[in-house]
Amino acid sequence: MYALSDVRKVFGNDAPALDGVSLTVGRGEHVAFIGPSGAGKTTLFRLLNLTLRPTAGVLLIDGVDVAALDGAGLRRARRRIGTIYQQHNLVGRLRVVHNVLAGNLGRWSLSTAVASLMRPRAADAARALEQVGIPEKLWARTDELSGGQQQRVAIARVLLQDPDVILADEPVSSVDPSLALTIVTLLRDLSHQSRKTLLVNLHSVELALGYFPRIVGVREGRIAFDLAPDEVTPELLGALYAGHSDATRQLDRIHDGIGSYGTACRPLPGFSK
Amino acid sequence: MASAPTAPPAARFPASPSRAPFGRFLAAAFTVVLAISLREAGVDPRLLVQSDAVGNAARFVRGMFPPALGVDFLGLLVRPVIETIQISLMGTTIAVVIGFPLGLLATASLMWRGALHERTPVARRALLGGVPYGLARALLSVFRAIPEYVWAFMFVRAVGLGPFPAVLALGVAYGGMLGKVYSEILEGVDSRPIEALRAAGASRAAIVLYGLVPSALPHLVSYTLYRWECAIRAAAILGFVGAGGIGQQLALSMRMFQFDEVLTELAVLFALVAAVDFVSGRIRGRLV
């Protein structure tokens, strides 16, 4: 699906946000990205969804170099990538139905888009909302929903878009732990059913290790490790979060074995008390 | 506080950037400009209390009472009042038709700047973004730099007397103001939902439709209503160049020294503006 080699991203005169990132993600793979805030995870996701352009290095999608894409070709490529954001990035003043149907905008002609604002194809949106568990919110105004419900609307929008890959950038950082677990499993199950590639950027190490078969640690714009969850040792995590305020919090939770996410997390080697 | 807190070592945090010299310079420059303006604008309060000034004003005011309330005269005002409302409505409508597309073109975040255009090649960004952006901004500046009174004067020459030149004048001058403010409102819209639509492959037009306009709608409508209120007042003034409406009656009465009629016409104008204030206030209240 993705092949990155030696990708670098610099904003203005700052230190590079990403440097020397090489990574391959196969079709249908589920990968969790972890690391302290400011490590460059969000920048990486914005490169992967073709919002940003690498300063240097090569980004291939299915073997195609996306640097050359432009105009209609770029739009076609973006259509195949669905993104879920920490802040939902929905249009609050629109009804839920329109936010969900907006997933179609990459495919629709302008006249279809206009027509849909007046007579939305509600059945399509309703089906997607059914899948994420809030069918009754179809006609609600989006900014009247809770944070968790808005995140479900954002997932429904991606379902309508029907992309090949789903990028979820900190999808559960603004919801409580039990809801976080629900949303992560929802994302995982939905992508599994439709054989989509799923890349998730997670604030919680516990969720990442418990639910994803491949863990990529990012620190200071570089990939620190790329391992299966049972190969991720406390030492690696300690180094990943070293000097960051949430380091001890993250690690203590795993050491104590009482996660916020209940018993669903399987015990990991090296983390027993 | 019982004990004085010990001051933290100065080196621990950066000092706040000092803008004091610049502030002092601004204050000094402002004072000088104000002083010069006071003299050059001929501000002389003594003129207000000179005997003939007071006499003239008194005659003007005395002439206003009692206001003209004859049925014939009031009947004469009905048409111009309706005409004024129609001029303001049509003028504002044309202003929206001119201002909205130009306002979109004059929105930097839509045309060439920011996250939407990270991946646009520089040449395309300049040619298809920067050039129309610059032209739209220039056009909007010209439209609003020329006062609606002057526009009306030109349109009277072009299309003759009557309400139509007033409508055109309002449309162009207010189109320039609306376009400028629309672009500022659209610029201020939260960019995150826009980025999400872009990332899903939406075209620029679709982004305007599903992202920019819905988010900005209350502000866009609110400012347009405010402009409509201004248009009522302006429509009255435009009557002075023969563009019809209540203003034309006002100009006639003043020229004929019929101050009793002037008072009635001013009262009608006041009622009109108050009514429009009320209506637009209600609409705005429901929007927010």
Half-sphere exposure of A21 (CA within 13 A, CB side): 35
pLDDT score of A266 more than 60: no
What would the pLDDT profile of B127-136 be if each residue is shown by its tens digit?
888 899 999 9
CB of B215 within 8 Å of a chain A CB? The answer is yes
Residue B284 and residue B222 in contact, taking contact as beta carbons nearer than 8 Å: yes
For the entire predicted model, the pTM comes to 0.81
What would the pLDDT profile of A104-155 be if each residue is shown by its tens digit?
999 999 999 999 999 999 999 999 999 988 999 999 999 999 988 999 999 9
Taking phi over 0 as left and psi of -120 to 50 as alpha, with beta for the rest, A57 belongs to left
Q: Which structural domains are found in chain B, ordered by start?
A: 70-287 (1.10.3720.10)
Q: What is the DSSP letter of A135?
A: G
List the beta strands (DSSP E) in chain A: 2-9, 18-25, 30-34, 56-61, 64-65, 81-84, 165-169, 197-201, 214-219, 222-227
Listing DSSP states for chain B in one string gives --SPPPPPPGGGSPPPPP-HHHHHHHHHHHHHHHHHHHHHTT--THHHHSHHHHHHHHHHHHHHSS----HHHHHHHHHHHHHHHHHHHHHHHHHHHHHHHHHHHT-HHHHTSSGGGTTS-HHHIIIIIIHHHHHHHHHHHHHHHS-HHHHHHHHHHHH-SSHHHHHHHHHHHHHHHHHHHHHHHHHTS-HHHHHHHHHTT--HHHHIIIIIHHHHHHHHHHHHHHHHHHHHHHHHHHGGGT--HHHHHHHHHHHTT-HHHHHHHHHHHHHHHHHHHHHHHHHHHHH-
CB of A51 within 8 Å of a chain B CB? The answer is yes
Average pLDDT estimate for B136-150: 93
pLDDT score of B160 more than 90: no
Query: Distance between CA atoms of B215 and B107, rounded to whole angstroms?
Result: 15
pLDDT score of A255 more than 70: no
Q: Which of A152-161, A165-174, A212-221, A249-258 has the lowest mean pLDDT?
A: A249-258
Q: What is the pLDDT of residue B17?
A: 67
Listing DSSP states for B189-235 in one string gives S-HHHHHHHHHTT--HHHHIIIIIHHHHHHHHHHHHHHHHHHHHHHH
Sort out which chain A residues have CB atoms less than 8 A from B119's CB and list them.
Answer: 50-53, 69-70, 74
Q: Pick the residue with more confidence: B29 or A246? A: B29
Average pLDDT estimate for B198-225: 92
Taking the domains of chain A in order of start, what are their residue ranges?
84-162
Tell me the pLDDT of chain A averaged across its residues.
Answer: 87
Average pLDDT estimate for B35-53: 83
Q: How confident is the model at residue B156 (pLDDT cuts 50, 70, 90)?
A: confident
Contact check, Cβ <8 Å, A53/B119: yes
Q: What is the pLDDT of residue A120?
A: 92
Q: What is the pLDDT of residue B245?
A: 81
Nearest CA in chain A to B212: A91
Q: Pick the residue with more confidence: A63 or B52? A: A63
Sort out which chain A residues have CB atoms less than 8 A from B121's CB and list them.
Answer: 70
Nearest CA in chain A to B116: A51
CA nearest neighbour of A184 among A171, A197, A174, A193:
A171
Q: Which of A9-23, B34-48, B234-248, B260-274 has the lowest mean pLDDT?
A: B234-248
CA nearest neighbour of B148 among B220, B266, B230:
B230
pLDDT score of B281 more than 70: yes
List the beta strands (DSSP E) in A145-234: 165-169, 197-201, 214-219, 222-227
CB of A3 within 8 Å of a chain B CB? The answer is no
pLDDT score of B15 more than 50: yes
Average pLDDT estimate for B91-103: 96
Q: How many residues does chain B have?
A: 288
Residue A2 and residue A49 in contact, taking contact as beta carbons nearer than 8 Å: no
Q: Pick the residue with more confidence: B237 or B203? A: B203
Nearest CA in chain B to A167: B199
Whole-Å CA distances, B220 to A90, B213, B287: 20, 8, 11
Q: What is the pLDDT of residue A267?
A: 43
What would the pLDDT profile of B227-277 be if each residue is shown by its tens digit?
998 998 888 888 877 777 888 888 888 888 888 888 998 899 889 888 988
Which one of B124, B209, B220 would you mutate to disrupt binding with A, by most A Cβ within 10 Å of its Cβ? B209
Q: What is the pLDDT of residue B65?
A: 83
Q: What is the pLDDT of residue A265?
A: 45
Query: Distance between CA atoms of A17 and A30, rounded to whole angstroms?
Result: 24
Cα A21 → chain centroid: 18
Q: Pick the residue with more confidence: A122 or B63? A: A122
Tell me the pLDDT of chain B averaged across its residues.
Answer: 86
Q: How confident is the model at residue A250 (pLDDT cuts 50, 70, 90)?
A: low
Contact check, Cβ <8 Å, B200/A161: yes
Average pLDDT estimate for B34-57: 83
β pairing state of A2-9 and A56-61: antiparallel
Residue B129 and residue B204 in contact, taking contact as beta carbons nearer than 8 Å: no
CB of A107 within 8 Å of a chain B CB? The answer is yes
